[in-house]
Amino acid sequence: MGNYFHSVTLDEEKCRGCTNCIKRCPTEAIRVRKGKARIINERCIDCGECIRICPYHAKMAITDDFSCIKPFKYRIAIPAPTLYSQFKPEYNRNKLLNAFKLIGFDDVYEVARGAEFVTEATKSLIAGEGIKKPLISSACPAVVRLIQVRFPNLIDNLVKLESPMEVSAKIIKRKTAVLKGLEPSDIGVFFITPCAAKVTSVKAPYENQKSSVDGVISIRDIYLKLLSRLDQAEETEQLAQAGYEGIRWANSGGEGLAIGTDKFLAVDGIHNVITILEAIENDKLEGVDFIEALSCAGGCLGGPLTVENVYVAKTRLKKHIDEARANTYQNPVLEKFEEDIVWTGNIVYKPVMKLDDDFGIAMKKLEDLEHINDELPGLDCGACGAPSCRALAEDIVRGIANETDCIFKLREKVRDLAAQMMELESKIPPVMDKVRDKDKDKDKDKDKDKDKDKDKS
Amino acid sequence: MGDRLLKLDYGIPARDLACAGEASSNVKKLLVQLGINPVFIKKAAVSMYEAEINAVIHGGGGSAHIEIDHEKVQIYISDKGPGIPNLELAMQEGYSTASDEIREMGFGAGMGLPNIKRYADVLDIKTEVGKGTTLTIVIYFERTDAPSKITELI
C-alpha cells in the first residue's frame, strides 16, 4: 500500500455499481468499473462523503480492530471529544472516561485537552508577524489533503501545528513513560475516532512524519463495549481534565471560538469548504484571520464513524460543554509541555488533475478533451462510470475510458451502423439485379391486385 | 510541439452576476490540467475574473477569448459598453462608477483594474467612449515540477 494507504475503501460484495458515490466525491476520485466503484488512490482525500452517501453501505473505513490494543503492556485511550456526544445525557463525562478502564485500557487522556494546547499555540501564531492570513486550521486531515490536491496556493496558509490527536498522544506517552517507568514501545496509545481521515493521517502521515498514535478505533466499534459497562463504571479517578473550550472543538466553530478572535470563519461540509477555499484563493475573502474548515457537515460530530445523529449529538455535547464551564476544577491552567508541536516537514502539492508531464502532450490532450467534451451529451448521467461528461472526456484522453462508454454515444454508433447496413442492403451486385427486378415486378402485380380488391369493397 | 496554440471562446452575459466568473473558473481548470505552476494560475484566474466582472457590471456583457501557448496565456475581454472616460482615474484603487445596486451585492469596490494590473505581466486597455472596451492581459507562466501520477484504479 505504501504511500497510498486510504482508510476509505470498498466492500466489493455490497457495491452495486450505482452512481451515488461518483457524483458526490469532491475530488472526482471514483469511477465505476465492471460494476464496482473504484477509487483513484491519488485523488482520494478520505473525507468520507462516499461512506455517508452509499445506500448499500458498500463504502467503509478501515480502522483498527479492538484487539490491536492487546500487544501493548500499558494501554491508553485518547477519545475525540465527539465521543461524549454519543451517549445519553445522564452519563457524565468522567463516568464515561472511567468506563474505558473496564474494557481493557489502563489510562485515558482527553484529546480535548490536546486541543487546548493547540489552541494556545495557534493564538501565538496569529499574534505573530510574517504569517500568511487567513490562517487555515489543519485539524481536519481531509481538508489538509484537499488543499494538497486542489488548493496548492493555500498550503502556506495552513496552521503548521500538529493535530490535537497527535499532541495528546505525544504528551501522554512521555508522561506515562516517566511516571510508570515504562519503555515508550510498551505504551500503546489508541485514538477513538469519529472519522476515516484520522485513520489515514495515522497510517500514512503527511510527508512521512511519524504518528505517535499506535492504533485507531472507530467510535462505532467501541460504542457498544462502553455502553454495556457504563453502569458499572465508578468515578474512581478524575479523568475528565479538559475545559469547555477543548470539548467544543467537536462542534463546527469550536476551534475558532477558542482562539478568541472575532475575525474567524467556520465552515463545515466538504463542498462548503471548497466554496470558501475558492474565495480565499481568488482574493475574495476579506477581514478574516482564521479559517476553521471541517470536512463533515456539523464538524466532527457529523463524522461518518459516529453512531448518533449529528443534531442530537450537538445538543448532547452542549450539556458537556456547559458542565465543564460550570465546574471550577476545570478552569485549566495549561501545564507547560515540552513537546514540539510544529510540523517538521511541509506538505507538497500533488497535481492530480495534470494531464501529462510533457507540456506539448498535455496541450494536445486538453485540445482533444475539449473536442470530445463538445460531442458528449452533457447530461452528466454517470452511466459511463465517470461523474460527469467532462470527467469522461478527461478519462478518454488519459486512456482509461472509451468514447463508447457513453451510452448515448454507443447508441449513436449503433444507429449509424444500422443505417449503413440498411444502405448496404439496398445495394445489389449487378449479377443479382435481374432477380431483384423480377421481384419488383411481382410486387407491382400484387399492388394492382390489392387496388382491385379495394375497388370491389 | 512548442508552437501548439489552444484557443478558447466564452460569452460573458450582461448583468448576470450569478453566472459571472464562470469563464475564468473554466480557464482556471484548464490551466490546472495543463500542469501550470499554481502561482501563475492564480495570477491568470484573478485578473481574468476581475476583467470578466467588469464586463458584466459596466460593459453590458461581452466575450472572452483565450490563447494558451507553451509560455503564456493571453486573455482578451471585450465589451461594447460605454467605454472608460478617464482611464487614469479608473486605474486608481477605490475609484468606481458602479451603481449602489451593484455595490450592495458586494461588487464595485474600485479594485478591479488595479488588481488586474497587480497580477498581469502585460495589461493593455483599448477603450472608446460610447463604443466599448477591450482588455488584453498576458500572464507568462512556468509549469509545476511535481509529477502527475494516476495509477490504475484500485
DSSP state of A335: P
**Mean per-residue pLDDT over chain A, rounded:** 89
Q: Helix and strand tally (H, E) in chain B?
A: 5, 5
Task: State the nearest Cα–Cα gap between A395 and chain B, in angstroms.
Answer: 11
Provide, as residue numbers in chain B, all residues whose Cβ is less than 8 Å from the Cβ of A352. Answer: 148-150
Task: State the nearest Cα–Cα gap between B50 and chain A, in angstroms.
Answer: 10
Under the phi-then-psi rule, with left for phi > 0, alpha for psi from -120 to 50, and beta for the rest, what region is A35? left
Q: Of A42, A353, A369, which has the smallest distance from its Cβ to B151's Cβ? A: A42
Residue B149's pLDDT is 64
Q: Given an 8 Å threshold on Cβ–Cβ distance, is B34 in contact with A366?
A: yes
Classify residue A451: in a domain, yes or no: no
Please identify among residues 29-48 of chain B the ones whose CB lies closer than 8 Å to any CB of chain A.
29-30, 32-35, 38-39, 41-42, 45-46
pLDDT exceeds cutoff 50 at B28: yes
Among B8, B26, B27, B34, the residue to mutate for chain A (most A Cβ within 10 A)? B34
Structure confidence by residue, pLDDT tens digits, B67-99 = 999 899 999 999 998 888 888 888 888 778 778
Q: Name all domains of chain B by residue range, CATH numbers in brackets.
A: 10-140 (3.30.565.10)
Classify residue A433: in a domain, yes or no: no
The verdict on A149 and A8 lying in the same domain is no
Structure confidence by residue, pLDDT tens digits, A56-80 = 999 889 899 999 999 999 999 999 9
Structure confidence by residue, pLDDT tens digits, A396-454 = 999 999 999 999 999 999 999 999 999 998 888 878 766 555 566 565 555 555 555 55
- Residue for grid cell 475558492: A278
The verdict on A43 and A166 lying in the same domain is no
The verdict on A201 and A162 lying in the same domain is yes
ipTM of the complex: 0.83
Among the listed residues A261, A248, A222, A259, the one whose alpha carbon sits nearest the alpha carbon of residue A108: A222
Q: Given an 8 Å threshold on Cβ–Cβ distance, is A42 in contact with B143?
A: no
Give CA–CA dist A420/A427, Å, rounded. 11
Query: Of A41, A61, A81, at which residue does a domain stop?
Result: A61
Task: State the nearest Cα–Cα gap between B31 and chain A, in angstroms.
Answer: 9
Burial bucket for residue A342 (CB in 10 Å: 0-12, 13-18, 19+) = exposed
Between the two ends of chain B, the Cα-to-Cα distance in Å is: 34
The verdict on A289 and A141 lying in the same domain is yes
Asked if A140 and A180 touch (Cβ cutoff 8 Å), the reply is no
> In chain B, whose CA is at the least distance from the CA of A365?
B34
Identify the bridge partners of residue A265 per DSSP, sorted by sequence position.
A291
Give CA–CA dist A5/A39, Å, rounded. 12
Q: Given an 8 Å threshold on Cβ–Cβ distance, is B38 in contact with A349?
A: yes
Residue A2's pLDDT is 41
Task: State the nearest Cα–Cα gap between B83 and chain A, in angstroms.
Answer: 26
Helix, strand, coil share of chain B (percent; to 5) = 30, 25, 40
Asked if A83 and A96 touch (Cβ cutoff 8 Å), the reply is yes
> In chain A, whose CA is at the least distance from the CA of B45?
A282
Tell me the DSSP string of A196-260: HHHHHHHHS-GGGPPPS--EEEEHHHHHHHHHHHHTT----S------HHHHGGGBTTHHHHHHT
Classify residue A192: in a domain, yes or no: yes
Count: domains in chain A: 3
Region A144-159: mean pLDDT is: 94
The verdict on A240 and A294 lying in the same domain is yes
The verdict on A53 and A80 lying in the same domain is no
Provide, as residue numbers in chain A, all residues whose Cβ is less than 8 Å from the Cβ of B2. Answer: 360
A282 interface with B at CB cutoff 8 Å: yes
Q: At what angle do helices A141-150 and A270-281 cross, to 10 degrees?
A: 50
Asked if A63 and A217 touch (Cβ cutoff 8 Å), the reply is yes
Q: Which residues touch A442 (CB under 8 Å, ≥6 apart)?
A: none
Point out the least confidently predicted range of A125-129, A153-157, A192-196, A382-386. A125-129
Cis peptide before A134 (omega within 30 of 0): yes
Give CA–CA dist B138/B11, Å, rounded. 19
The verdict on A92 and A19 lying in the same domain is no
Q: Given an 8 Å threshold on Cβ–Cβ distance, is A152 in contact with B38?
A: yes
In this structure, the strands spanning A107-108 and A74-79 are parallel
Please identify among residues 139-158 of chain A the ones whose CB lies closer than 8 Å to any CB of chain B.
152-153
> In chain A, whose CA is at the least distance from the CA of B33?
A354
pLDDT exceeds cutoff 80 at A3: no
Query: Of A13, A33, A61, at which residue does a domain stop?
Result: A61
The verdict on A83 and A122 lying in the same domain is yes
**One-letter amino acid of A88:** K
Burial bucket for residue B16 (CB in 10 Å: 0-12, 13-18, 19+) = exposed
Range of A7's domain?
2-61
Tell me the DSSP string of B44-94: HHHHHHHHHHHHHHTSSSEEEEEEE-SSEEEEEEEE-S---S-HHHHTSTT
| Model confidence, pTM | 0.87
Provide, as residue numbers in chain B, all residues whose Cβ is less than 8 Å from the Cβ of A43. Answer: 150
Among the listed residues A377, A375, A353, the one whose alpha carbon sits nearest the alpha carbon of residue A365: A353
Provide, as residue numbers in chain B, all residues whose Cβ is less than 8 Å from the Cβ of A359. Answer: 1, 34-35, 70, 143
A403 interface with B at CB cutoff 8 Å: no
The verdict on A49 and A88 lying in the same domain is no
Q: Given an 8 Å threshold on Cβ–Cβ distance, is A366 in contact with B33?
A: yes
Give CA–CA dist A155/A152, Å, rounded. 5
A369 interface with B at CB cutoff 8 Å: yes
Point out the least confidently predicted range of A272-281, A318-327, A424-433, B82-91. A424-433
Size of interface A-B (CB pairs under 8 A): 100
Cell of A142: 481531509
Give CA A333 to chain center in angstroms: 35
What is the band of A1 on the pLDDT scale with cuts at 50, 70, 90? very low
Give CA B137 to chain center in angstroms: 7
pLDDT exceeds cutoff 90 at A319: yes
Residue A334's pLDDT is 60
Identify the bridge partners of residue A74 per DSSP, sorted by sequence position.
A187
- Residue for grid cell 488588481: B115
Among the listed residues A65, A177, A168, A198, the one whose alpha carbon sits nearest the alpha carbon of residue A108: A168
A453 interface with B at CB cutoff 8 Å: no
Q: Of B49, B150, B153, which has the smallest distance from its Cβ to A282's Cβ? A: B49
Classify residue A343: in a domain, yes or no: no
Provide, as residue numbers in chain A, all residues whose Cβ is less than 8 Å from the Cβ of B143. Answer: 359
Give CA–CA dist A68/A72, Å, rounded. 9
Give CA–CA dist A242/B108, Å, rounded. 47
Which is higher by pLDDT, A97 or B100? A97
DSSP state of A64: -
Q: Which residues touch A245 (CB under 8 Å, ≥6 apart)?
A: A115, A116, A119, A254, A257, A258
What is the band of B1 on the pLDDT scale with cuts at 50, 70, 90? very low
Among A4, A62, A354, the residue to mutate for chain B (most B Cβ within 10 A)? A354
Q: Domain containing A393 — which CATH number? A: 1.10.15.40
Asked if A164 and A112 touch (Cβ cutoff 8 Å), the reply is yes
Classify residue A442: in a domain, yes or no: no
Q: Domain containing A16 — which CATH number? A: 3.30.70.20
Residue B139's pLDDT is 94
What is the band of A112 on the pLDDT scale with cuts at 50, 70, 90? very high
Point out the least confidently predicted range of A290-304, A386-400, B95-109, B117-131. B95-109
Classify residue A354: in a domain, yes or no: no
Structure confidence by residue, pLDDT tens digits, A228-239 = 999 998 888 888
Region A271-279: mean pLDDT is: 95
Classify residue A8: in a domain, yes or no: yes
Provide, as residue numbers in chain A, all residues whose Cβ is less than 8 Å from the Cβ of B115. Answer: 283
> In chain A, whose CA is at the least distance from the CA of B70?
A359
> In chain A, whose CA is at the least distance from the CA of B44?
A282
Classify residue A380: in a domain, yes or no: yes
Cell of A434: 435481374
Query: Of A330, A349, A370, at which residue does a domain stop?
Result: A330
What is the band of A455 on the pLDDT scale with cuts at 50, 70, 90? low
The verdict on A294 and A371 lying in the same domain is no
> In chain B, whose CA is at the least distance from the CA of A400?
B152
The verdict on A35 and A148 lying in the same domain is no
- Residue for grid cell 445519553: A88
The verdict on A85 and A30 lying in the same domain is no
